[in-house]
Structure 1
Amino acid sequence: MAIETILLAVGPGDADRLDRLAEETIEVAGPAGARVVLGHVFTREEYDSALDNLEFDRNADEVSADDVAARHSTVRELVAQLDAADVEYEIRGRVGDHGESIVGLARDVDADRIVVGGRRRSPAGKAVFGSVAQEVMLSAPCPVTFVRADTK
């Protein structure tokens, strides 16, 4: 099966693993000539906060989640790395539950692979706090690559 579209899902907790996420994505997308969809999912609270932090004029403009995602610092860092590697990409934003929205976006863009970051958690921690990466891995319509931050 050829890989044509990779969904690189990023969120608020991924700042410490952006380089690893970019490396893993570029390693597959570059040789395959795949398009990368940079997907940033916001909860409603995160979205409202981002609108304020990025100084969008809510009254003058119709602001989409795609617009907010494109201006988010994590996405801009990844864009710079994808540009440097000459990898084609587009940016998509979503507002909603992180796991469900990532899986929905993967379906919407017909992703052949999802790249998602996470951190190590005990089974009890996953049960109590949940795990976006685990939800994505269990519900995804395609294979998922899990990227953990360097543990130096």
Structure 2
Amino acid sequence: MALETILLAVGHGDRDRIDRLAEETIDVAGPAGARVVIGHVFTEAEYEDTIDNLEFDRDAENLSADAVAARHATIRELQKHFEDAGVGYDVRGAVGEHGKSIVELAKDVKADRVVVGGRRRSPAGKAVFGSVAQEVMLSSPCPVTFVRADTN
């Protein structure tokens, strides 16, 4: 099976692992010649807060999830990494539950691989707070690469 499309799922908690997520994705996408879809999923509240924080003109500007994601600082950092590495990319945004929306985005872009970040959690922590990465790993239509946050 050819590796043509990689979905790099990025969320509000990934700011501290942007370099690592980019590096791991480039290590796979570069040699395979795959295109990366940088996907950012917002909850409704995160979406509204981001529109306000980025000072979108609600009357004049495109407020699609794709447009809002493309202006997000984390996404712009990732774009620079991919441009520097010569890896092609697109930006997609979605509004909804993080895990479910990432899985839907993977299906929509026909991803051959999903890259998702996370941190170590105890089984009790996962049970109480849930785990986006775990939901993606269990429900994704394709293999998932989990990039764990640095533990130092």
Q: What TM-score do the two structures reach when normalised by structure 1? A: 0.98
**What does residue 34 of structure 1 align with?**
34
Larger deviation, residues 55-64 vs 98-107: 55-64
Q: Could you tell me the percent identity over the aligned residues? A: 75
Q: Is the 8 A contact 2:120 2:149 kept in 1?
A: no
Task: Determine whether 1:20 maps to 2:20.
Answer: yes
| C-alpha displacement of 1:2 | 1.2
- CA spacing shift, 1:101–1:61, aligned 2, 3 Å: same
Partner Cα distance (1:149, 1:129) in 2: 17
**What does residue 50 of structure 1 align with?**
50
Q: CA RMSD in A?
A: 0.6
Secondary structure class of the residue paired with 2:12: coil
Where does structure 1 differ by over 6 angstroms across 4 or more consecutive aligned residues?
none
Q: What per-residue deviation string (whole Å, max 9, x for no partner) do you get for residues 34-80 of structure 1? A: 00000000000000000000000112234100001000011000000
Task: Determine whether 1:64 maps to 2:28.
Answer: no
AA aligned to 2:147 is: V
Q: Is the 8 A contact 2:137 2:144 kept in 1?
A: yes
After superposition, where does 1:1-152 map in structure 2 within 5 Å? 1-152=1-152
What stretches of structure 1 of length at least 5 have no aligned partner? Answer: none
Partner Cα distance (2:123, 2:49) in 1: 31
Secondary structure class of the residue paired with 1:14: helix
Q: Is the 8 A contact 2:65 2:93 kept in 1?
A: yes
How many residues get paired?
152
